[in-house]
Structures are given as structure tokens and as C-alpha cells.
Amino acid sequence: MHNTNELTDEECGHLARILLASRRVTLRHHFFSWIHGPVQSLIPHEILLCGVADESGYLLHQRFTACRYFKDDHYHRVIHPGDGLINQLAQEWQACGEPRLIAGQHEGSGNWTARLTDLELKNVAFHGMGWTNGQIKGYASFSRVRMPFDDRLELYLDILLPHLLATLARMLSHESRTGTLSRRPAGLITVREVEVLTWVRDGKTNDEIADILGLSMLTVKNHLRHAMKKLVVRTRGQAVAKAIALGLLHAHGSRGDMQ
């Protein structure tokens, strides 16, 4: 029997390799290799959804998956800010402050088996980290985990989460400094404003955007008004065109990971 508060020599070796390898992560493919390499020694899995909050408290969701069944549609449903699974798990985590482990069986009042199967997740091991104000600072959600859902998994999540989020933040910071986003004026428009403009580009009305993002129509209008003012344009179409020209939006294509 393992002591639930201690690591064996073998586990310490795995953890040391994970932490040392994390220091070399600066690019997205480095992070993917790290998650699907050393991290697998403690938490074997196929899908990792994770995120850190930006300066406004908005979660920047990311996905790293080797599962061919987990499609874009599943991902966007999981991270939906209204009824998405991540939002629900974050709220439950904030209520208890402990990892949320759902092995896939029927639990409580919700049919978790059906929901997780529908989303191609199979199971979920979720843990979060909070700010001093009580709001969530970041999270990690492992799915298709191939190990017992027990105290050992909770211990691994508790130990790994701070390092995982620090590594993720470093990767995102590096992307911001060296990628397209580094060419925009500092603090030009927020991530939320970019997201609203993305849906405007896709032809959605304010009502539809409000429903998609779980916001009020007034909030959507305010985001658009602020974006247009910062971009120095007078219409929604001009805002989209200028955001594309500045490299804040892709001209076409489905929405991928929010960055």
C-alpha cells in the first residue's frame, strides 16, 4: 500500500524527469511532446484540456490530444462558457477546492456516463488553481485516463498542476512574443473582444453571439463597441477587416484553440 502523502523512489524519479523536461518547453510542439512523453509516466492519458486566465480573468483554453475521436465540435462544446463541461467542473472545484475525478459511471443527479461518452472523453480528472481573490487562475483536465481513479491520482494532480500551468504560461508567453500577436500594439484588444469579432466574422448576430458565449446581448454590444473604438473603425465589418489585417483574426476557417 502506498502512503497517500508520499512518493515512492520510482515515482520521485518520474517526477524529476517531468520537471527537468518542462524547462525545455517553449513551443507548442514541445508542450505536446512533454505531455505525451514524461507526464504519461504519472498520468497516462489521451486528452489534456487546460487553461490559464488572462489579465481580465478570461480563461485561455488549450487542448493537447492524441485521440482521433475528439473533434473540434466536442472541444467547443466542452469549453462552452455557459453549459460546457469545463465550466461545470470549475464551479464544482471552486466549491470544494479538491480534484474532481469522474471515472465515467453514473454519479449524483447527472448521467456522467452518457455525457462523457457523447463528448468522447470517457472519464475526467480535473484540478484547478485559484487566485487570492478566489477566482480560478488555471486548470488541467485529463481524459481517457488509464489508471485507477483514487487517492494516488489526486496526489499526482496536486503535485503536477502548478508546474503544468507554469509551463503552459511560458509557452503562451513565448508565442505572444514571437508570433503574429507580437506585432499588434500592446493591449490593443482583449481576448474576449477577439472572440466576439471571430463570431462576427462568421456571420453571427449579436443575439447569436450572446447565446454562444453565455453573455447578455448588452455585454456583447459593449465588447464590440470597445473593440471598434480601439481599432479606430466605425462598423462591425471594418472591425473584422482591421483585426484580420493586424493578424488578430484568421480570414477564414473554423475556430481552433483560443489563444
* Distance separating alpha carbons of residues 96 and 93, to the nearest angstrom: 5
Q: What's the grid cell of residue 80?
A: 462552452
**Average pLDDT of the segment spanning 140-148:** 97
| Residues 84 and 152 both lie in one domain | yes
For position 191, what pLDDT does the model report? 82
| Residues 65 and 144 both lie in one domain | yes
| Residues 201 and 225 both lie in one domain | yes
Q: What's the grid cell of residue 174?
A: 513565448
- The amino acid occupying position 224 is L
| Residues 150 and 226 both lie in one domain | no
| Average per-residue pLDDT for the chain | 85
**Residue 87: in which H helix or E strand, if any?**
helix 85-96
The answer to whether 57 and 133 have CB atoms below 8 angstroms apart is no
> Which residue, 145, 178, 211, sits at the end of a domain?
178
* 3: number of Cβ within 10 Å: 9
**Average pLDDT of the segment spanning 192-221:** 90
The angle subtended at Cα 77 by Cα 37 and Cα 144, nearest 5°, is: 30
For position 180, what pLDDT does the model report? 41
| Residues 111 and 238 both lie in one domain | no
Percent of the chain with pLDDT over 70: 88
| Residues 107 and 217 both lie in one domain | no
More confident site: 251 or 22 = 22
230 domain residue, yes or no: yes
For position 109, what pLDDT does the model report? 41
**Average pLDDT of the segment spanning 111-124:** 92
> Which of 140-144, 158-162, 172-176, 221-225 is predicted least confidently?
172-176
> Which residue, 178, 197, 232, sits at the end of a domain?
178
For position 251, what pLDDT does the model report? 63
1 domain residue, yes or no: no
> Which of 24-33, 60-69, 101-110, 134-143 is predicted least confidently?
101-110
165 domain residue, yes or no: yes
3 domain residue, yes or no: no
- The amino acid occupying position 151 is D
**Residue pLDDT, tens place only, 156-190:** 999 999 999 999 999 988 887 776 443 444 346 88
> Is the predicted pLDDT of residue 210 greater than 60, yes or no?
yes
For position 155, what pLDDT does the model report? 96
| Residues 85 and 27 both lie in one domain | yes
The answer to whether 232 and 221 have CB atoms below 8 angstroms apart is no
| Residues 173 and 195 both lie in one domain | no
**Residue pLDDT, tens place only, 25-72:** 998 889 999 999 999 999 999 999 999 987 767 788 899 998 889 988
> Which residue, 178, 211, 236, sits at the end of a domain?
178
What's the CA dihedral at 89, 135, 60, 31 to 10 degrees? -80
Which residues form the domain of 199?
A: 181-245
- The residue behind cell 512518493 is 7
> Is the predicted pLDDT of residue 225 greater than 60, yes or no?
yes
* 92: number of Cβ within 10 Å: 15
SS3 content of the chain, % helix, strand, coil (to 5): 50, 15, 35
What's the CA dihedral at 197, 198, 201, 203 to 10 degrees? -100
Residue 133: half-sphere exposure toward Cβ, Cα within 13 Å: 5
DSSP string computed for 191-213: HHHHHHHHHHHTT--HHHHHHHH
- The amino acid occupying position 48 is L
The answer to whether 90 and 128 have CB atoms below 8 angstroms apart is yes
Closest CA to 159 of 36, 65, 9, 39: 39
| Residues 142 and 227 both lie in one domain | no
